[in-house]
Structure 1
Amino acid sequence: MFGRRRKKRDQETDRTAKEAPEPRRGAAGAVSFGNEIEPERPTAHAPKEADRHRANGPWDAGEDAPDLQRMDLGSIRLPVQQGSQIQVNLTKDAQGKQRIIGVTLVLGKTWLQVRPFAAPKTSGLWDERRAEILDQIAKEGGRSEEHEGTFGTEIKALLPVKGRTTEDGKQVAEPVRFIGVDGPRWLLHGVIRGEGAIRPEKMGEVEQIFAGIVVVRGDQPVPPGDMLTITVPKKVQEQMAEAAKTRAAQRAAGGSVNGDSPGGTASGPKKA
């Protein structure tokens, strides 16, 4: 019995030796330690569970994203289409200086605001942000529910519109979708208003735009939860300034202002 086992071991040893890879040649000649394995090709980022929700985008700058016409806004590259407009969402800090808090893409009667955030290396941020959004909606008197959508769990909500009531005195509410996708060390957050929040054909259209966004996380240290820097090209800045003057004149004359996104402060429509 022991002889048969020894013979089998000898046969396996001989077969293994024949199947062993050829010694690699280094700078000093052939080198082999007998236990080498072919190393895996390095990947830009370790796969994460949440990545299954972005198989078709949004994309990381280190990935092969589809070739689309995009506007470079620093931390994001935003797809643009004929007839669309890009608005830069601004707020004032404690020193009274304006800072960018997001970018809104206007496509017909659909508004998509996007905001890129830094996220931890080992876990996503969207679950935490969703809980904060649900709490804020409840505080504002809105209604919400979580829903499984194209990019995973999203929030569908009805938000009260401040200062607007119906003829019989009821509070006006608007439908809003909150979507989010965790990527490699980033979270891309989207807020959809208008037709893209309620009409199926428009929902698919705005989701396709969101999926085409490329996030440029960069190597700079940014605390998880902080927004990544959005930069505006000089040409767009000039258009923003001109558009701001036009809107100011329209408001002074008591007219309506075209291009303002609902529920947010926007500046500078940029037609693609």
Structure 2
Amino acid sequence: MFRRRRREQPEQAVEREPAAPTRESGPWDADEAHPETERIDLGGLRLPHNPDFDVRLASVGDQHVGVVVLYEESSLQLQALAAPRSSGLWDEVKTKILNQAKHLEEREGPFGTELAGEMQVEGNSRPARYLGIDGPRWFLLAVISGKAATDDAVAEPFIDFIKDVVVVRGDEPMAREEPIPLRRPNEQPNEPGEQRPGLNPFKRGPEISEIR
């Protein structure tokens, strides 16, 4: 069971009014003004708390490389990557996905251009939507699969979830497309320079670790 991140209390007697968000919704960068609500703190990602969702860390070995959110008959996979300061990654990642998955087509979605169609998982076909969001020095890839990939009403809770995600890029140097490190709540961050493998959205998950 995830523990929710409590709103930080100021140490000084005089509270400063938080800056108002300049956008209606996220995903948010940790350094921009965003709604201060209770979130699950996973280091590189802070996730909104939804008691109906089963939130898990996706791991390769002992490295946490993404998040899987399960809800009814659908799933949402999230991965945050480091991106260049000068440009986003979605156009490049989208091309790579289209080269590997032949049954997807572009369409407009809540975050701009997305890919929708079928993904192959161990020889089986499954409806999927790929949503890419470029942020300041980060890129967030969201993959919705199952019933929510074809039913907008079922997908709405997932979309609302993505809109309230906070990405914590940090200031340390990172290679292009390197996964932004995640951790269990209250776990110490990874040591600098530690190798972190990537998450392949076309294969059935790496090992899934549930936080109790």
Same fold (TM over 0.5): yes
Question: After the TM superposition, which residues 53-72 of structure 1 pair with which residues of structure 2 at under 5 Å, given as runs?
Answer: 56-72=25-41
Pair 1:110–1:55, CA change in 2 (3 A): same
> Does the CA contact (< 8 Å) of 1:85 and 1:270 recur in 2?
no
| SS of residue matched to 2:101 | helix
**2:120 equivalent in structure 1:** 160
Pair 1:62–1:132, CA change in 2 (3 A): same
Q: Determine the C-alpha separation between the residues in 2 that align with 1:216 and 1:145.
A: 31
Amino acid at match of 1:231: R
> Is 1:206–2:158 an aligned residue pair?
yes
* Aligned equivalent of 1:113, options 66, 72, 77: 77
Pair 1:157–1:174, CA change in 2 (3 A): same
Amino acid at match of 2:142: G
Poorly superposed stretches of 4+, deviation over 4 Å:
none
| SS of residue matched to 1:127 | helix
* Aligned equivalent of 1:189, options 141, 161, 169: 141
Listed as ranges, the gaps of 5+ residues in structure 1 are 1-53, 93-97, 164-171, 236-261
- Taking only the aligned residue pairs, the percentage that are identical comes to 36
Deviations 1:16-74 (A, max 9, x none): xxxxxxxxxxxxxxxxxxxxxxxxxxxxxxxxxxxxxx752100001222233311011
Q: Determine the C-alpha separation between the residues in 1 that align with 2:146 and 2:101.
A: 18
| SS of residue matched to 1:210 | helix
Pair 1:234–1:216, CA change in 2 (3 A): closer
> Is 1:227–2:179 an aligned residue pair?
yes
Instruction: Normalising by structure 2, report the TM-score.
Output: 0.76
* Aligned equivalent of 1:100, options 64, 67, 78: 64
**2:95 equivalent in structure 1:** 131
Pair 1:231–1:181, CA change in 2 (3 A): same
* Structure (1 or 2) with the larger CA radius of gyration: 1
Listed as ranges, the gaps of 5+ residues in structure 2 are 1-22, 188-202
